Amino acid sequence: MKITRILIWIILIIFPITKSFGAMVTEVDDQEFADGGSNSMSGINFNDDGTKMFLLYQQGTHGDDHKYINQYNLSTPFDISTATYAGDSARCYLDYGDDTGLGTDRIFDLEFSSDGLKLFTVYGSGSNIGQADRDGIYRFDLTSPFDISTCSFANTTTDLDSADLQDGSLAGDRLGATETIKQKGNRSQGISFNDDGTKVFISHKATDASGTGRILEYNLSTAYDLSTLTLNTNAGIQVGSGSNNYMTMTFGLDGKRIFIVDHNGYTVTQITIGSSFDLSSTSTTDGTVNLHTLTSSNVSQPRGIAFSTNGLKMFITVDSSEGRGTEDVFEYDLTCPFNIIEGKCPEITTGDRTGLVEAQIEVAKRTIEHSTDTALNRLKWIRRNKDLQDLSYQNIKLNFSNQMLASLSEAIQISTKEKEKDDDIFYWAEGSLAFGKVKETDTSSKKKIYTDGITIGADKFTVGDGIKGLAFRFSQNDVKVGTAGSKLDANTYNLTYYSTAPVKDDRRFLDTIIGVGALRYDISSVLDGSKLNGNRNGRQIYGTLKIKEEIKKDDHTLIPAAQIDLGYTLLSSYSESGASSMKFDKQSIQSRNLRLSLASVEELNNKKYKMKRHGKIEYQANLHRSSNIKYSYIGDSASGKFDTELNSGALHNINGELGIDVIFDDNFSLFFIVEHNYKHRVGYTNKIHIAIGYLPQKNTNFAFKIEGDDILKSKYIYTKNVNGLDVDFYLLNNNALRPETFDEIALNLRKVF
């Protein structure tokens, strides 16, 4: 019976701990960092990239009362197994004017300013009344960020035990009815700042068994200036009781999580607050992890706590473990960022994780945009160089703005038998590359973009002076997210149908684009040195309508245009592999753009080549920037599924381009375009397009064209191939009413080998 009871108690006590916490917090390593004498290691902190670890010692070789901070260099960020002592020369002695260093005060925690140029330690009194008024904060200034060898004492707070800095907050007053007892019932032991240094938070131990621990919030009217410190009486949290010995504390999850270490109970308590760094908001105690039972090394007397930048590693300093009586640092992996309690994993709203999700959205939209622009570039080139391809028409073409002459033109064209054009197929290819940056935002890390693609296509003229064609595009997309090594690699495959047709004479045209595509993502997220990998597929469909008009004057043409783009991409579900992995559901991405542009084309005179230069300025409105992602943590089913809406890209975009066309004597063509896309408050991309094409030649071709208003112009072109010799004949008359006069005559002979 006794054995049964024991077993029941084991199940009731141990099993919940294992189930609730064991899966969320996993011990990775523990390393000894003893530093001689009867020292006691307390606080711990890191620089931003995790290559430096700082440990605070209360006592050491300089005497029982000397305090200092040691630096350890980590060859692998946030991996304590790679730590090496930086040496005594890198040590920061916490002196404020005498050799003993901070007197009899006990130092419990350390914190840096966000720029790494200021170092803070919190000191607390002993339990006896004579030391009870010695609670406060010391500030040391550094000449280089996180270089503690340059530390020098700057200033300290006024007495934190004063009534003005202790009583009247939501956390309650100090214990006792008399000042002496009030002083005794308090000891400052943990310190943390908000991101901009305008708030400092202090954890206070209740040294009397009938008291409660407290976390108080103080305002700094000047950032990190201790002389401007005042108590926020509208904030504060009560934690534990006098039997608890809450020491160091830290924030996580953008200031919405508090973690506090109990020295006596061997625990870490997690508290969630409603607003970032705001103790006046609603607070909830999520739960407590017992380090003594969680850790195989039988941790006792924990003191310091710190997290890696991304919150997937937790570090605890202890006075002793396994009865060794040494100073150790324990490293733990977490299932999800800044969380040690099952069912409390947060949604991803910042950093590389969000950046990678946004990158997937942006690649899908960019693929549609590049495929569409490539087809439109081809249509624009054909329109710019259409006259060079009239040789295949073999008919008479008349075009007048005069109404009477126009009716004559229609009559002549009806009576003219037009040649079938199915044999005239034009082949072309385009290579493009794009590179750019997306700025860091409140929700995402910065991104670097590189895309290269190649397109091959074929098109032909249709009856009615139209054009239709088909293009296949393959592209590679590389997106680097943040600075830790997170990246997205994507291969895309797109098939695009394009066409253009006149809607009014030979000046106004309607371009149509319809396309489909497939995507393949390789996703690699690097968080605190650990990689999470995943693969994802996608399919997309898209279409574009563009109306444009050509306004010609001499050798210049202006082309105003309006365009609407629509697209839809469906990404498959996928699961990551690695620590803190997630499962993502299917995701739909919509594209909807409105574009207004003005282009210009100018003919250039060159005896050897036919050349045209052109440019464009375009406004683009991204009318659908949002996309919902649904995901869950693989290691924490209790947290359920998250549904997060993300906005990617910029609403307002300005695109500009410059380019040139060259037609060679052998009828090969080349165009080159440089494009800059400015995304308002988001970033930019630069694009380069290079395309080649071929104009087919027939053994005998001719064309006759008459155009004009009051003054008629005629153009006659004749080509013939005789035994491998190309004969080109060209007549130009700027006034058809003077048929006996020719303004330009040309005869070219060319041998093709």
Say which residue, 121 or 161, is predicted with more confidence: 121
Sheet of 725-733: strands edge to edge?
396-400, 700-708, 712-722, 725-733, 744-751
DSSP of 357-378: HHHHHHHHHHHHHHHHHHHHHH
Kind of pairing, strands 574-575 and 556-571?
unpaired
For residue 733, which amino acid is it? Answer: N
pLDDT tier for residue 477 given thresholds of 50, 70 and 90: very high
Low-confidence winner among 183-192, 243-252, 518-527 (lowest mean pLDDT): 183-192
d(CA 373, CA 577): 37
Ranked by mean pLDDT, which of 148-157, 233-242, 513-522 comes out on top?
513-522
Angle at 745 between CA 741 and CA 749, to 5 degrees: 155
pLDDT (0 to 100) of residue 93: 86
DSSP 539: E
Residue 695 — pLDDT band, cuts 50, 70, 90? Answer: low
Kindly state the average pLDDT of the residues 589-604.
94
Instruction: Kindly tell me if the per-residue pLDDT of 10 is higher than 60.
Output: no
The DSSP secondary-structure symbol of 3 reads H
Mean pLDDT, all residues of the chain: 82
Residue 179 predicted with pLDDT over 80: no
- Per-residue confidence band for 400, with pLDDT thresholds at 50, 70 and 90: very low
CA dist 453 and 460 (Å) reads: 23
Residue 43 and residue 108 in contact, taking contact as beta carbons nearer than 8 Å: yes
Residue 129's pLDDT band (boundaries 50, 70, 90)? Answer: very low
| 250, 470, 550 from 467: Cα distances, Å | 66, 11, 16
**Statement: residue 280 has pLDDT above 80:** yes
- Choose from 2-6, 396-400, 549-553, 607-611 the range with maximum mean pLDDT: 549-553
| Of 319, 408, 300, nearest in space to 40 by CA | 319
Dump pLDDT digits (tens) for 327-370: 889 999 999 999 999 999 998 888 898 999 999 999 999 999 99
Report the alpha-carbon distance of residue 637 to residue 631 in Å, rounded.
11
Nearest to 386 by CA among 514, 224, 529, 507: 507
Helix (H, G, I), strand (E, B) or coil at 525: strand
Please give the structure tokens belonging to residue 387: 């006259």
Least confident of 154-158, 220-224, 360-364, 408-412: 408-412
What predicted TM-score, i.e. pTM, was given to this entire model? 0.79
* Amino acid 669: pLDDT: 81
What gap in Å lies between CA 124 and CA 129, rounded to an integer? 12
What the block records as the tokens of 621 is 């409105």
> Among 67-71, 83-87, 287-291, 610-614, which range has the highest average pLDDT?
83-87
Residue with the bigger pLDDT between 226 and 19: it is 226
* pLDDT > 70? residue 412: no
